Amino acid sequence: MIRLSELAAQIGGRLEGDGDILIRGVGGIHSAGTGEISFLANPRYEAEAAVTGASAVIVSEDWNRECPAALIRVKNPDKAFARAAMLFYTPPPRPVPGVHPSAVVAEDAELGEGVSVGPLCVVEAGVKIGAGTVLMANCCIGYGSVIGTGGLLYPHVSIREFVRIGDRAILHNGTVIGSDGFGYSVDRNGVRTKIPQIGTVEIGNDVEIGANTTIDRARFGKTAIGNGVKIDNLVQIGHNVVIGDHAVIISQVGIAGSTSVGERTILAGQAGISGHLKIGSGVIVGPQSGVTKDLPDGAYVMGGPAMPVAKMKRSHAEIMLIPKLRERVRKLEEKIRKIEGN
Amino acid sequence: MIRLSELAAQIGGRLEGDGDILIRGVGGIHSAGTGEISFLANPRYEAEAAVTGASAVIVSEDWNRECPAALIRVKNPDKAFARAAMLFYTPPPRPVPGVHPSAVVAEDAELGEGVSVGPLCVVEAGVKIGAGTVLMANCCIGYGSVIGTGGLLYPHVSIREFVRIGDRAILHNGTVIGSDGFGYSVDRNGVRTKIPQIGTVEIGNDVEIGANTTIDRARFGKTAIGNGVKIDNLVQIGHNVVIGDHAVIISQVGIAGSTSVGERTILAGQAGISGHLKIGSGVIVGPQSGVTKDLPDGAYVMGGPAMPVAKMKRSHAEIMLIPKLRERVRKLEEKIRKIEGN
Amino acid sequence: MIRLSELAAQIGGRLEGDGDILIRGVGGIHSAGTGEISFLANPRYEAEAAVTGASAVIVSEDWNRECPAALIRVKNPDKAFARAAMLFYTPPPRPVPGVHPSAVVAEDAELGEGVSVGPLCVVEAGVKIGAGTVLMANCCIGYGSVIGTGGLLYPHVSIREFVRIGDRAILHNGTVIGSDGFGYSVDRNGVRTKIPQIGTVEIGNDVEIGANTTIDRARFGKTAIGNGVKIDNLVQIGHNVVIGDHAVIISQVGIAGSTSVGERTILAGQAGISGHLKIGSGVIVGPQSGVTKDLPDGAYVMGGPAMPVAKMKRSHAEIMLIPKLRERVRKLEEKIRKIEGN
């Protein structure tokens, strides 16, 4: 429990209302109750501020709508709220360094200082893990793979052989890195023979990868994920794909083989990118879009097949206007009939 | 092997045909063979009844088509067949209560009466598991999480810290509950910094969650799944999403952060729901639809972007009718030319 | 390091250029550097050959464009390159036969000659595994399941009870076979009751299944995957689905319950197939398509709802031509006005 006046001081805000209120936690503007503090950053929720059950709300300096709660005014309500939330949060204990006795670690595996290998992990021969990296329970690191320093692998992460991962990686539960690419030769009868996938996956620094995402190893050479790339849950990245630095790939996106994605490009949820394409830098691909052609730097596309958003919207509008067009044609036909009748 | 007359009695049906036939199992109407019993509930399969290889077929009381097999007439063929199928089914042995010696269970974990912790599970400190709940092999339950009574966790289920799950939960293999939400602040250069995801996930009673589905923990507060919610395989549920009681979420659906879904709403396969939306109760969202706006109670939408089904169908029909419209315009042009020629 | 002349001999090609160059590895045409050999099979990359950094390039016999590198001419550059790549590849050591001491294997499980059960695997009672099959770390094989000979299960594979898998299966990390189908009865209040899923999954020979894919067991009878079927990552296959021999199912496809897919049919990435459909043999379903109706043998469809590709393209073209049509109508209206004015 923190006194509201103290909380305001800690987040550097200006208090309006009763500073003696005791705050015991944080909550969303529509769900927070007595003793909780909320915030207002998204104008979409302004109306809810008027009826919030929260005891206090963090708002911007110039916000001037009704609110039954005490206010704390700050420059950036989103950031200030994040700080406030941390005041009430006790994280789970950090995993202790060392190898859990139930883990199966190859003798020649090289573990840096402070590495923690959790219960029931498997670390195969030739693996190198950098200082301070934590493997939580049930992770498997394949033969000869290298993981950098300061990483965090949640339970059930699966890394295949020869994969290279940079520093400060965060890999969420169930993620698979380095599974075989989907490649076959096919004979006249449609029978397929597996093409060996002997390449690897190379991942830069500061990369976060979501739960149950899959990244295939290259047919040869490498599938490459740049620095600072953030990948959400259940994403599929095909073999020999190249992802530029700081790209953002949202949940359930699929990228087919040999496509490259430029720096800072954002692929929204459930989008699909065909194989062998060059997607430029700073591109935005809308949700559920299907990209079938190369995209230049800065493109903003949507739809299936994906097209520039302006064109997309126009074509949607066109469809909606067909009934009007038909009505105009009907009137013309009527007039013509009259003229012909004369 | 069960005599058909006996089987008819057990499922409360009226026999037509040879009651002495021995039945050894069940099968679908197109695949069942001699000694097997099938059923007919879906009119789509009526034609197949005439050529079925099954020795007997369960049909409705008033069914009057040709069928080479003996018949059992019942009120509800679907339910009666389910009962018949159970007669031939020997389930795998129930896991024995207690902790398997290979499991790694924290000393202070509280396990209710009859709890079974399977081989190679990890149960971290502060975890509470209710009476009768079964953890099959290789599950990981994170720090401080609470699971209710009578639950069943299949192998490779991953639960992160501080998650709360109600009674009678069924969690299928590889499901991840409580992975970090996908949230970053971004600077002018497009470099992203992780926003701590310090909330949790709270799941009601009687919830079933499919294989390899992922449910993210809240940024703060909680991602909330109501009572009786049924979620299929490979579904993605973002941080701070709220799912109402008895909602149904079919395979590969994605729901972006902070969206709420009303009670008994059905989201069909591969649909995508944008973030920060309010989807009403009793809504139906068609397969592969992309919902980008709030939906009122009872809405029935389809398409990308999703619109009311009637409107959707009309707009599809409009597109299909464009060639006719063009032909009408061509004729008008011809007539005008003639009139002008005069 | 291999001398280029020797490499040319080993892949059966005709050398053009300096045979004394030492080659140390392979690379893609745009990323390969000094000491690496690349290849040109896809005309899409022809322009890159002119500026490649590779020391040598494998090309077709009649290729006649500019290239700064030494050339090896062969009939099939793709296959020759695959052979060249293998010369530089040292695979990880094969898992040794036998049961790792950390694995939990039921006493009555039958393991064929040379079977390898990796660390921390769980093999339940009644399981049979054919000669030479390898289970890598952390796999779980459920009660009474049968796996054929020569298979390879990567870490974290989850097989439920009573599943049958043929010979030479390759199952990638995190794949789930035999999870419950998604089936409920529903009462007037929208409350759902689970319908027991007491069938199984039967998989033919030479099947490969990608990472984190899920295949549900049948409600009764079986979900059936034919011989030679290749399934990519994150695919969902519903209960009682039947997949014909040599079908190809690309990443993130979803197939709803009781649908059958014919032999050699190809379902491209993210496509969705509704339930209870019959998809013919030799069908191609384009990426992200939504199939809602039966498809005859040899159909080639696209879009949502899916339609024959020719029709699909026409309807797209129609939409793009609406503005022209509107302009024609505007002109007609103008002319009519003039005529009426007269």
CATH number at residue A28: 3.40.1390.10
Nearest-CA residue of chain A relative to C174?
A174
Name the C residues in 38-77 with CB < 8 Å from any B CB. none
ipTM value, please give it: 0.93
Per the domain annotation, does B93 fall within a domain? no
DSSP secondary-structure letter at C295?
A: B
CB of A297 less than 8 A from some CB of B = no
* Distance, CA of B52 to CA of B31 (rounded, Å): 8
Of A82, A86, A233, the CB nearest to B214: A233
pLDDT exceeds 90 at position A37 = yes
More confident residue, C250 or C316: C250
| Residues of C in Cβ contact (< 8 Å) with A233 | none
Q: Shortest CA distance to B194 belongs to which of A248, A275, A317, A109?
A: A248
Same domain, C49 and C126: no
Final residue of a domain: which of C40, C63, C87?
C87
Please, what's the b/e burial string for C39-75 (b: 16 or more CB within 10 A of its CB; e: otherwise)?
A: bbbeeebeebbeebbbbbbbbbeebeeebebbbbbbe
Any chain C CB within 8 A of the CB of A342? Answer: no
Q: How many CB pairs under 8 A join A and C?
A: 175
Do residues C259 and C331 both lie within one domain?
no
User: Do residues B60 and B189 both lie within one domain?
Assistant: no
Q: How many angstroms separate the CA of residue C257 from the nearest CA in chain A?
A: 21
Statement to judge: residues C40 and C173 lie in one domain: no
Task: Tell me the per-residue pLDDT of A277-320, one tens digit each, with 9 for 90 and over.
Answer: 999 999 999 999 999 999 999 999 999 899 999 998 888 888 88
Q: Based on the domain organization, do B60 and B183 belong to the same domain? A: no
- Rounded to two decimals, the pTM is 0.94
B106 is a domain residue: yes
Average pLDDT over residues C10-16: 95
Is B234 within 8 Å of chain C by CB?
Answer: yes
**For residue B92, is it within any domain?**
no
The residue in chain B having the minimum alpha-carbon distance to the alpha carbon of residue C334 is B336
Region of residue A168 (phi > 0: left; psi between -120 and 50: alpha; otherwise: beta):
left
pLDDT confidence of residue C30: 84
In a domain, C93, yes or no: no
Residue C217 backbone dihedrals phi, psi, to 5 degrees: -75, 160
**Among C30, C64, C87, residue at a domain's last position:** C87
CATH of the domain at B131: 2.160.10.10
Structure-block tokens of residue B156: 């490779």
Same domain, A207 and A281: yes
Contact A174, C174 (CB under 8 A): yes
| Residue B235: inside a domain | yes
Residue C92 included in any domain: no
Q: Is A78 within a domain?
A: yes
Residue B129 distance to chain C (closest CA, Å) = 22
Contacts of B42 in chain C (CB under 8 A): 276
Query: Within this chain, do residues B150 and B199 fall inside the same structural domain, yes or no?
Result: yes
Residue A160's pLDDT is what?
Answer: 98
DSSP state of B295: B
Closest Cβ opposite residue B156 in set C156, C190, C272: C156
Do B125 and B70 sit in the same domain of this protein? no
A286 shares contact with chain C (CB less than 8 Å): no
Grade residue A322 by pLDDT with cuts at 50, 70 and 90.
Answer: confident
* Chain A interface, best mutation among C153, C233, C267, by max A CB count within 10 A: C233
Same-domain check for residues A81 and A215: no
Q: Does A239 participate in catalysis according to the annotation?
A: yes
Confidence of residue C31 (pLDDT cuts 50, 70, 90): confident
Q: What is the mean pLDDT of residues A57-86?
A: 92
Residue A223 touches partner C, C-beta closer than 8 Å: no
- Whether A227 and A288 map to the same domain: the answer is yes
Q: Looking at the structure, tell me whether residues A192 and A316 fall in a common domain.
A: no
The first and second tokens of residue C46, run together, are: 């022809």
Residues 154-193 of B with CB under 8 A from A: 156, 158, 160-162, 174, 176, 179-180, 182, 184-185, 189-192
**CA C194 from centre of chain:** 32
Angle at B126 between CA B129 and CA C137, to 5 degrees: 75
Closest CA of chain C from B49, distance in Å: 16
Q: Is residue A92 part of a domain?
A: no
Which residue positions in chain B have pLDDT lower than 50? none
Residue in C closest to B118 by C-alpha? C122
Cα distances from C3 to residues C7, C10, C37, C58, C79, in angstroms, run 6, 11, 11, 15, 20
Containing domain of residue C276, as a range?
98-307
Which one, of B171, B176, B150, B160, lies nearest residue B124 by Cα? B160
Question: How many domains does one find in chain B?
Answer: 3
C151 and C55, same domain (yes or no): no
pLDDT at residue A95 is higher than 80: yes
- Any C CB within 8 A of B274 CB: no
Show which subunits contact A, needing at least 3 CB pairs below 8 angstroms: B, C
Which of C67, C87, C107 is the C-terminal boundary of a domain?
C87
pLDDT for the residue C232: 98
